[in-house]
Amino acid sequence: MTTAPVPAEPAAPVPVAAPTPDAAPAAPAAWMRRATVDLAAYRANLASLIERVAPVELLAIVKADAYSLGVDVMVPEALSVGVRWFGTVESEPALRLRRAGVGDEASFFAWQLAPDEDWAAAVELRVDLGVSTLEQLEAFADAARAAGPGHEALVHLTIDTGLHREGCLPADWAALVTRAVELRDEGVVRLRGCFSHVSETSEADDHAASLVFRKALDDAEALGATFEKRHMSSSSAALEHPERRFDMVRMGSNGYGNPVTEGVTAADRGLRQVLTLSARVVRVKRVPAGTGVSYDYTWRAERDTTLALVPLGYADGVSRRAQHGAEVTIHGRRHPIVGRVAMDQFLVDVGDHEVAVGDEVVLFGPGDDGELTIGEWADRTGSVPEEVSCRIGARVPRVYVGGRS
């Protein structure tokens, strides 16, 4: 097992050390909290998903620093099992990975574009961008012209099928496609893709969105546009609706072993949860009945009991809602979180069970030892697995296990 600090975005820089998962394990270092990332599970999940959606291409979503697990670590793991498309949302991680020589043989796709987007860098470093407006299209094409012969703007035209986030409204679609075709014929734009999203609100809503997407594709073809990749489905939709896979599907949550479909577990899909969040007990106290704990005394002991102090708090991504039904596991036994979750710590009521300073406390993991899964933790804290993963703070070290030889 090898420890590496989380590879972070510039907004919250953390020194990055390359993991060496196959090195001989050193003596355990002192630690208080950690997020363990199972790289073998990630590779196995992606390999299984690639097989299940074949011959359609799989694009691995690595946005938000790979759901906070470390994009610099996770992208090479995905490359090793044959993934050749990556979605980063914003362009900065894609540009950084390109400059570092990571995934030179792969394609990086970003679609959340800044008003002052670095169009020139996207052209030079061959990053695909999702384009929704004529202004974005012209700026990207201008950068390709300025770069000189042989350079192209790699464009995915984006149609709004109902989420009303990025995407061209259907009324403006013909104008966007017509101009894109002109720029393609000029040799400064390459129509790499056409994409959209589904809301996953209901089958009726998603079917309606798919009809809008299909019409947009038909209209674009009539205007002379052909696309290398057509894609609108993400993790759940891609598995549950093969008819909406088109040429490529975007896999985020499923790759990390976090199915987001209600009532569906990782095991149901033949996947394994990648992330485990744990800490160590730093203080144990025996208290009498009636004792109030943490801020506002929102919980009082109904009997004499033992409290264990855990050094994780909302600064580390533990929701303040965790006191209402969330449980942690110590020695394979679940115990409730009690009292307010503070910025740096929370308390656990362990009753009369023996717990000592240094014992491991598992908040969530694959469920092998009776601990909550990330899906169960999300349910009990009014969240979703993606949010739980992304909110884990930078001071929680990421520990990578299951690395490649």
Token pair of 332 as six digits: 């394979």
Cβ count within 10 A of residue 332:
10
DSSP state, residue 288: -
Catalytic residue among 63, 67, 256, 314: 63
Nearest partner of 153 among 179, 192, 117, judged by Cα: 192
Residue 63 a catalytic site member? yes
359: left (phi over 0), alpha (psi -120 to 50) or beta: beta
Token pair of 335 as six digits: 């115990």
Q: Are 349 and 336 in contact (CB under 8 A)?
A: yes
CA 71/CA 88 separation, integer angstroms:
9
- The residue whose two tokens read 């144990």 is 284
- The residue whose two tokens read 């409204």 is 169
Q: Are 340 and 373 in contact (CB under 8 A)?
A: no
DSSP state, residue 98: H
Q: Which helix (H) or strand (E) holds 204?
A: helix 203-222
Rg (C-alpha) for the chain, rounded Å, is: 24
The DSSP string of 216-256 is HHHHHHHTT---SEEE---HHHHHH-GGG-TTEEEESGGGG
Residue 295 a catalytic site member? yes
Burial level of 271, CB count in 10 A (0-12/13-18/19+)?
buried
CA 82/CA 126 separation, integer angstroms:
19
Q: Which helix (H) or strand (E) holds 97?
A: helix 91-99
CA 236/CA 233 separation, integer angstroms:
8
Q: Which helix (H) or strand (E) holds 44?
A: helix 39-53
Q: Would you please indicate which residues are annotated as catalytic (active-site) residues? A: 63, 295
